[in-house]
Amino acid sequence: MNNYGQIPVVGGGAETGSQPLSPAPPFEPDFQHLLEFEEGPHQVVVALGGIPFLVRSNDAGVVGFFTSEYGPFQTEATPWVTLDLRRSAKFPFATDIARFLTARRGTVQHAKFRNMAATVDLKRAAARGWVTGDNLRQDLSNVLRFVVGSVTPSLGALLFHTAALAHDGRAYLFFGPSTAGKSTVVKLSEDREVMTDDMLIVREDQGRVVASTCGFWGGETRCYPSRRAEYPIAGFFRLVKDRTNRLIPMDASRGAFEIACNVPAVTRTSVENQAVLEVAARAAAATPSWFLHFHNRDASFWRCLDDLA
Amino acid sequence: MTSPSSNDPWLNRVPVQNQDVAWRMVDEECIIIVPETSQATVLNPVGARLWELSDGKRTVGQIVLALVDEYDVDPKVAEDDARDFMEQLAKRGLLSLTSL
């Protein structure tokens, strides 16, 4: 006979309530042009979060961006995903894109935002993006975030919204909602290697759960050019601003929930959401998760983390 | 064992999980993601068990009986809790309550 303990609840109070995954509003894609353009002659292969992408473009500047900003990410590996990019002075389709919009048609994802539009055919692992305007870094970064966020679940990986610092060959992932303190933790950790202040990829590699950079930055830390780094994960740390530093362990279910809640939302099928849950659950089972209550005045919270090691 | 309110028609309804919901048991809890809202939520162990039992084959009455059989809980308490819980799930679109 099991202890009934708690009444059955959805969520479970302030600490275990349901959390939104930032759903994007739907829109009607008008991307025929995006599906029809020819593959460009310029190309490069880059491994984003350990996933090799073949990037092709009509524009030498686009590929130039990858060979410079993503120089450390270049690889000889066989590509898993193709990404065809077109750049032009303006879009050949309607744009009303103050907000990040996504739509789903079968196995194809669509998105547009500011000066970028993109589609991802998940069945073919093939993506297309169109950028315009002068801020190539911003627009290509938006394309990449969408494409990487779309393809990762089916590849057994997660794009994870987190700050990450490396220490003694392991990655410490600090995450939480906006204003939780991700950028603050990065700023307070000057003597540690900053992997990202925004997003990286969490995936399994030969039985380990690793954090692998994909060159995404939130903008506050300005750690350009991108760094390529991959480390086993020491722990997932959900940030809570407090007057004192302390660690409170999470059980595996709470850890998996917190991880799943910090995977940026794109429109997913139940199969893809299931893949998100599977990776999150395996990551939480293999790696400890904690609430890190920290004082945001100095780096003294690292003493708690060093004690773990 | 008989539920104290076995004549209640509500107990004859059959909860059916929304097939678009992704869910996974972790330890004794259940994590759920609903595609339409991209909302993630956690069900505690008793809630997770109720969710598992909501397989489209059992009536609410049968589920309550299973709960009473498995847990140290008064049948009336289990019935009231199951009703509140399933109404919450239905309101969130996680399951529907069909009639026999």
Tell me, what CATH number does A184's domain have?
A: 3.90.228.20
**H-helix or E-strand spanning residue B44:** none
Q: Judge if A169 and A281 occupy the same domain.
A: yes
Residue with tokens 């539920």: B3
Q: Is B97 on the interface with A (CB under 8 A)?
A: no
Closest CA relative to residue A274, chosen from A289, A286, A256: A256
Task: Give yes or no for a cis peptide into A72 (omega within 30° of 0).
Answer: no
Residue with tokens 């139940």: A270
**Is residue A55 domain-resident?**
yes
C-beta atoms of A5 and B46 within 8 A:
yes
**Is residue B36 domain-resident?**
yes
Which tens digit of pLDDT belongs to each residue from B55-77? Answer: 999 999 999 999 999 998 999 99
Q: ∠ at Cα A250 (A248, A256), nearest 5°?
A: 150
Distances (CA, A) of A300 to A224, A240, A243, A291, A296: 27, 14, 12, 16, 9
Q: Judge if A146 and A40 occupy the same domain.
A: yes
Number of domain units in chain B: 1
Which tens digit of pLDDT belongs to each residue from B73-99? Answer: 999 999 999 999 999 899 888 899 998
Conformation bin of residue A55: beta by default, left when phi > 0, alpha when psi is -120 to 50: beta
Closest partner CB to A260 (pick from B28, B31, B37): B31
The predicted pLDDT at position A219 comes to 65
The predicted pLDDT at position A35 comes to 77
Which residues on A lie below 8 Å from B70 (Cβ)? Answer: 1-2
d(CA A52, CA A145): 15
C-beta atoms of B33 and A252 within 8 A:
no
Q: Judge if A141 and A277 occupy the same domain.
A: no
Q: Is B64 on the interface with A (CB under 8 A)?
A: no
C-beta atoms of B42 and A7 within 8 A:
no
Which residues on A lie below 8 Å from B21 (Cβ)? Answer: 270
Closest CA relative to residue A161, chosen from A98, A247, A239, A65: A239
Which residues on B lie below 8 Å from A4 (Cβ)? Answer: 46, 71-73, 77-78
Query: What integer best gives the mean pLDDT of chain B?
Result: 87
Give the three-class secondary structure for B20.
coil
**Is residue B5 domain-resident?**
no
Q: Judge if A190 and A272 occupy the same domain.
A: yes
d(CA A150, CA A266): 7
Give the three-class secondary structure for B25.
strand
Q: Which residues 67-96 on chain A approach chain B with CB closer than 8 angstroms?
A: none
Distances (CA, A) of B79 to A8, B83, B100: 11, 6, 18
d(CA A162, CA A173): 6
The predicted pLDDT at position A278 comes to 93
Q: Judge if A97 and A170 occupy the same domain.
A: no
Q: Judge if A168 and A294 occupy the same domain.
A: yes
**Mutation to test the A interface, candidates B26, B69, B85, most A Cβ within 10 Å:** B26
d(CA A27, CA A266): 13
C-beta atoms of A6 and B44 within 8 A:
yes
Q: Judge if A174 and A292 occupy the same domain.
A: yes
The whole domain housing A49 covers 32-151
Q: Judge if A195 and A298 occupy the same domain.
A: yes
Is the interface score ipTM higher than 0.95?
Answer: no
Give the three-class secondary structure for B75.
helix
A127, A151, A175 — which closes off a domain? A151
**Is residue A267 domain-resident?**
yes
B96 CB-near residues (< 8 Å, 6+ apart): B15, B16, B18, B90
**Is residue B2 domain-resident?**
no
**Is residue A15 domain-resident?**
no
What's the length of chain A?
309
**Is residue A19 domain-resident?**
no
A151, A186, A204 — which closes off a domain? A151
**Is residue A21 domain-resident?**
no
The whole domain housing B77 covers 12-92
Which residues on A lie below 8 Å from B37 (Cβ)? Answer: 20, 23
A23 CB-near residues (< 8 Å, 6+ apart): A265, B37, B38, B39
Q: Judge if A304 and A166 occupy the same domain.
A: yes
| Ordered mean pLDDT values, 10 residues apiece, chain A (309 residues) | 63 39 60 81 95 96 92 95 93 70 83 88 94 87 91 91 94 92 91 91 91 85 72 96 95 92 78 90 94 92 88
Which tens digit of pLDDT belongs to each residue from B19-48? Answer: 989 999 999 899 998 766 667 888 888 999
**Is residue B32 domain-resident?**
yes
Q: How many CB pairs under 8 A join A and B?
A: 127
d(CA A171, CA A191): 14
C-beta atoms of B35 and A269 within 8 A:
yes
d(CA A296, CA A301): 9
**Is residue B3 domain-resident?**
no
The predicted pLDDT at position A223 comes to 61
**Is residue B84 domain-resident?**
yes
C-beta atoms of A270 and B40 within 8 A:
no
Question: Chain B: nearest CA to A23, how far in angstroms?
Answer: 6
Which tens digit of pLDDT belongs to each residue from A168-197? Answer: 999 999 999 888 999 999 999 988 999 999
The predicted pLDDT at position A12 comes to 38
CATH number at residue B19: 3.90.930
Question: Chain B: nearest CA to A20, how far in angstroms?
Answer: 5
The predicted pLDDT at position A95 comes to 66
**Is residue B43 domain-resident?**
yes
Number of domain units in chain A: 2
Closest partner CB to B24 (pick from A6, A268, A281): A281
